[in-house]
Structure 1
Amino acid sequence: MLANFKQQIITTTQAKINTFIGGEGYPLLLLHGYPQNYYMWHKIYDRLSQEFTIIITDLRGYGNSEKLPVTPDSRNYSKRVMAKDQVEVMSSLGYDRFYLVGHDRGARVAHRLTLDHPQRVQKLALLDIVPTYQLYTTTDREFATAYYHWFFLIQPHPFPENLINSNPEYFLRYCLQSWSRVKGAFTEKAFKEYLRCFSNPETVNSTCEDYRASAGIDLIHDREDLDKKITCPLLVLWGARGIIGKKYDVIASWQERAINVTGKEINCGHFLAEEAPEKTYLALQEFLIK
């Protein structure tokens, strides 16, 4: 579905990862968020591919990537193993070092990847997040209300799965509408692609496991690495009308976890690449080429 891009399934140590490759130039890996897949980049990937070799993947458990089984501690969806998938994808393509951009869940994978494999990431951009550890340790009514899914999806299997699977289209549409602020941001084609994948019960299960891991094993890893900082240049972008920008000083949050941070807000909600593609593209392009 990405014009002029080659699609392939890359087998890593633990999972088969759906991958798209296109463009020319320095390698740039794009990681999507919830409840989406690779297609969330469809409004900006083509322009980025004129300056970079673009690699777009489905995270394990999402889209057309492999779904791993449920475990008691959700370790199959720890950000550490999800990050390792992406490192192995890039190695299989011959890229030992690359630029990295992640949104939402993909940004959390990107954060862990950069901590665990700092030699691999030349520059990092994170879209509309602050560190997971900070979110869980500063939770209040405002955050819990806006990010209700963080506490719903982590409930024991199969409670959230059964409720979502009873009407996946309603749940998906509600998530997209409640977190966005720009009317018409999601094209019909994009929604159909997200719904195609989200209608698969295995995807619903895997994405719940992703969140369960964030509330468990990921917090253990994050606590162990509180003194470890991102050393490469970091750009943070966030939606001015979203909850992250209203509740947190995003740059200050990341200055505690990185040594070289720049960033700015964009006039939209949570889904920057689809709500404000032009401004998101320009911000990424300026950061990556300078």
Structure 2
Amino acid sequence: MAPSHFLDGFDLCDKVVNGVSIRFALAGEGPAILLLHGHPQTHIVWRKIATDLVQAGYTVVAADLRGYGDSDKVESHAPHHPYSKREMAKDQVRLMRALGHPRFTVVGHDRGGRVAHRMALDHPEAVDRLVVLDIAPTLTMYDRTDQDFATRYFWWFFLIQPEELPERMIGSDPEYFLRRHIGGQVKTPGAVSDDVMAEYLRCYRDPNTIHAICEDYRAAATIDLEHDRAD
């Protein structure tokens, strides 16, 4: 363990679950809350509220999803099963069990919200309470896609293009893509400080991370829809 530079009072830990190593920050005592980030962030996206949750009397686990941050980047190609939200949710459920929390609250933002949504469907015995931020169900989003959505959320359709087109294009200048992407999402000046941006960029410069992110989105447009329709 090592102290987190971004989440005050938290320790950084790694644990192998479901065949992958998951990086997470841990602090607190009491009922457990699992925090799951979105794209293109990592667990440090929760830095402004995580300590407040600890002070409110919770055990807080802020994890990097597989493929993101310092969690393992799993080899994946079509049909993208390793980055299905089913597998990503399984990682986190097994992590929480390994930490002694068979039932917990999960809060997911963006991609983490999609993982949390699938987690509630696949593991209702584990999810005590569910909070999803900034998502509607993936199947609903694709079924209702129109020109306005496709224009504003272009990366939904760019990142799912066949391997290695988006990987090579992003990899040619990952800093430009990352800054433009975050700048388009965050409308509050100064919300993402220079040190946080540098940390996101450290992770985003890894070609394995770029590929994993594309596989996450490819899975969302293929196998995840199959799982959602089956439900």
Q: Distance in 2 between matches of 1:179 and 1:13?
A: 32
Whether the 8 Å contact between 2:76 and 2:83 is mirrored in structure 1 is no
Instruction: Indicate yes or no: 2:18 matched with 1:24.
Output: no
Once superposed, what is the RMSD of the aligned Cα atoms?
0.8
Instruction: Indicate yes or no: 2:54 matched with 1:49.
Output: yes
Q: Distance in 2 between matches of 1:78 and 1:205?
A: 14
* 1:239 aligned partner: none
Where has structure 1 moved over 2 Å in runs of 4 or more? none
The one-letter code sitting in structure 1 at the alignment partner of 2:128 is Q
Which residue, 61, 65, 71 being the options, matches 2:67?
61
TM-score by length of 1: 0.76
The one-letter code sitting in structure 2 at the alignment partner of 1:140 is D
* 2:200 aligned partner: 194
Judge which range, 115-124 or 1-10, deviates more: 1-10
Whether the 8 Å contact between 1:37 and 1:58 is mirrored in structure 2 is yes
- Secondary structure, aligned partner of 2:135: coil
Whether the 8 Å contact between 1:24 and 1:50 is mirrored in structure 2 is no
* 2:45 aligned partner: 40
**Deviation per CA, 1:112-158, whole angstroms, max 9, x where unpaired?**
00100001111111101101000001100110011100000000111
Which residue, 207, 215, 218 being the options, matches 1:209?
215
Judge which range, 198-207 or 13-22, deviates more: 13-22
Q: Distance in 2 between matches of 1:78 and 1:203?
A: 16
**Deviation per CA, 1:232-290, whole angstroms, max 9, x where unpaired?**
xxxxxxxxxxxxxxxxxxxxxxxxxxxxxxxxxxxxxxxxxxxxxxxxxxxxxxxxxxx
Whether the 8 Å contact between 1:17 and 1:60 is mirrored in structure 2 is yes
TM-score by length of 2: 0.96
Aligned-pair identity in percent equals: 49
Question: After the TM superposition, which residues 103-122 of structure 1 pair with which residues of structure 2 at under 5 Å, given as runs?
Answer: 103-122=109-128
Whether the 8 Å contact between 1:164 and 1:204 is mirrored in structure 2 is yes
Q: 1:14, CA displacement in angstroms? A: 2.3
Q: 1:71, CA displacement in angstroms? A: 2.2
Q: 1:188, CA displacement in angstroms? A: 1.0
Q: 1:3, CA displacement in angstroms? A: 2.6
Please, which runs of 5 or more residues in structure 1 have no aligned partner? 226-290
* 1:278 aligned partner: none
Which residue, 137, 141, 144 being the options, matches 1:135?
141
* 1:231 aligned partner: none
Q: Distance in 1 between matches of 2:144 and 2:19?
A: 33
The one-letter code sitting in structure 1 at the alignment partner of 2:225 is L
Instruction: Indicate yes or no: 2:30 matched with 1:13.
Output: no
